[in-house]
């Protein structure tokens, strides 16, 4: 990973004016005071969001949509092997200016998007996974999503008991109602750390502070290393196989594009992949199999940014990083090996996957803007109905509705890595 990111607009206005920084400033949300004249005086009329010009942001369109592509962007032929787990409308793109970068538009089917969103707010941000809140709440905040839905508050006594019982890593933990459902995948319920009264913080205020969670070995931003010795669950198998499929796709598509002399490139023979948990190939080289074992889940709200960085804490930088977008659209910047290289702004939508492989794996990238003012795709809206109209579909839609409401102003990114 990288140095712990700021997710508030950075205060460093004196930051070196690199090309990357200039692009970040262009897209960051900025609020401006507006004034009017009253009796010859300038009086504040309030605050407004500065209009951002997004015309230079490369938008490849919605899944299934065909748009003329700008020079230097190639749509890669699907027959090279879009995995069957992806929708037929998925389309993969390579970029001449960024060898090794693959964008798979619409890679995640709607049902999988919904499932990952629900897990992000339940299982992924619960013990033993570490989160933004682990420092202040070492035993974690199990059941935080369900508690938010019920308007509950943290009960200091329950939290203390939970910490004592869990040895500050929290395995036998609680939800407010003790009833796991689609909205609370947590397990093991004994005492509740949430309640209706008291002076503790509301679950909602705590959830809003949640900016990241780590899956697999937790990452320590201070030591800049993965804590393999810490109690952790393995990376969820679904993320592991999804990332492996996408990395394999990137390897074959980008490799083929490079061989044909257009787009892609920068990826050594990447067909090797880690299946059934068995690594193939030798350690340390480009021929090593991709075995994703960790992920960072980022939660973004209006005004949040992820500053330009290179993910360089993994031992095997020869292995790709696979990044999945959910919820609100975002502007993603991908640059070069230094911040002086002007980055390309790309629009990312829910369901898109980005693979940073080969040369792109060592390039600066970041998220200067989350676009919280746009409608979500139908599959993620509270009123959305994707698929049939059976009673189980209706049940699923009802279970997803609170997540859909939350997502209207939230973006989730899951970046899957091989840390060995």
Residue 359 CB coordination number (10 Å)? 16
Please tell me whether residue 352 binds Fe ion under the rule CB under 5 A. Answer: no
Helix axes 110-121, 391-407, angle to 10 degrees: 60
Q: Which two tokens stand for residue 144?
A: 């935080």
- Least distance between ligand AKG and beta carbon 366 (Å): 7
Q: Is 137 annotated as a binding residue?
A: no
Q: Which two tokens stand for residue 255?
A: 């490799």
Q: Applying CB under 5 A, which part among 35-43, 225-233, 282-290, 305-313 lies near Fe ion?
A: 305-313
The answer to whether 343 and 368 have CB atoms below 8 angstroms apart is no
Instruction: Tell whether the torsion through CA atoms of 113, 114, 117 and 122 is positive or negative.
Output: negative
Closest to Fe ion by CB, 90 or 367: 367
Please tell me whether residue 314 binds Fe ion under the rule CB under 5 A. Answer: no
Among 203, 273, 251, CA closest to 100: 251
Residues in a beta bridge with 353? 104, 324
Q: Could you identify the residue written with the tokens 């992820």?
A: 306
Closest to ligand AKG by CB, 95 or 332: 332
Q: Is 98 annotated as a binding residue?
A: no
Using alpha carbons only, give the angle 181, 400, 29 rounded to the nearest 5 degrees: 125
367 interface partner picked from ligand AKG, Fe ion, none, CB below 5 to 8 A per type: ligand AKG
Cis check for the bond before 57: say yes or no (omega within 30 of 0). no
Closest to Fe ion by CB, 149 or 307: 307
Closest to ligand AKG by CB, 154 or 296: 296
Q: Is 409 annotated as a binding residue?
A: no
CA–CA dist 355, 250 (Å, integer) = 7
Q: Which residues bind ligand AKG (CB under 6 A)?
A: 296, 298, 306, 311, 323, 325, 332, 365, 367, 413, 415
Q: Which of 293, 311, 329, 386 binds Fe ion (CB under 5 A)?
A: 311
- Least distance between ligand AKG and beta carbon 13 (Å): 23
Please tell me whether residue 293 binds Fe ion under the rule CB under 5 A. Answer: no
- Least distance between ligand AKG and beta carbon 225 (Å): 16
Residue numbers belonging to the annotated binding site for Fe cation: 309, 311, 365
């Amino acid at each position: 990973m990288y140095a712990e990111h700021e997710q508030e607009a950075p205060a460093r206005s004196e930051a070196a004016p690199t090309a990357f920084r200039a692009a970040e400033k262009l897209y960051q949300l900025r609020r401006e005071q507006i004034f009017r004249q009253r009796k010859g005086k300038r009086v504040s009329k309030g605050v407004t969001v500065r209009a951002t010009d997004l015309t230079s942001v490369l938008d490849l369109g919605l899944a299934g949509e065909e748009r003329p592509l700008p020079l230097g962007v190639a749509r890669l032929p699907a027959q090279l092997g879009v995995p069957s787990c992806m929708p037929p409308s998925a389309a993969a793109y390579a970029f001449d200016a960024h060898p090794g970068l693959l964008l798979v538009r619409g890679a995640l089917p709607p049902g999988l998007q919904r499932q990952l969103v629900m897990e992000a707010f339940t299982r992924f941000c619960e013990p033993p996974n570490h989160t933004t809140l682990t420092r202040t709440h070492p035993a974690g905040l199990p059941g935080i999503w369900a508690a938010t839905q019920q308007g509950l508050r943290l009960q200091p006594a329950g939290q203390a008991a939970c910490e004592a019982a869990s040895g500050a890593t929290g395995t036998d933990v609680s939800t407010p109602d003790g009833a796991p459902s689609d909205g609370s995948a947590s397990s093991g319920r004994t005492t509740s750390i949430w309640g209706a009264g008291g002076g503790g913080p509301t679950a909602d205020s705590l959830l809003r502070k949640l900016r990241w969670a780590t899956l697999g070995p937790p990452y320590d931003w201070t030591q800049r290393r993965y804590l393999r010795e810490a109690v952790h669950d393995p990376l969820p198998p679904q993320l592991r196989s999804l990332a492996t499929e996408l990395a394999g796709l990137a390897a074959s598509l980008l490799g083929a594009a490079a061989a044909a002399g257009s787009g892609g490139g920068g990826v050594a023979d990447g067909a090797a992949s880690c299946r059934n948990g068995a690594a193939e190939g030798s350690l340390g080289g480009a021929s090593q199999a991709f075995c994703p074992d960790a992920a960072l889940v980022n939660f973004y709200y209006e005004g949040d940014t992820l500053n330009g960085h290179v993910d360089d804490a993994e031992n095997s930088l020869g292995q790709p990083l696979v990044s999945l977008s959910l919820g609100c659209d975002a502007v993603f910047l991908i640059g070069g090996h230094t911040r002086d290289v002007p980055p390309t702004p790309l629009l990312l939508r829910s369901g898109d996957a980005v693979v940073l492989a080969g040369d792109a794996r060592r390039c600066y990238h970041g998220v200067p803007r989350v676009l919280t003012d746009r409608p979500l795709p139908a599959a993620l809206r509270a009123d959305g109905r994707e698929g049939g109209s059976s009673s189980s579909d209706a049940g699923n839609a009802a279970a997803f509705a609170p997540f859909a409401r939350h997502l209207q102003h939230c973006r989730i990114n899951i970046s899957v890595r091989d840390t060995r």
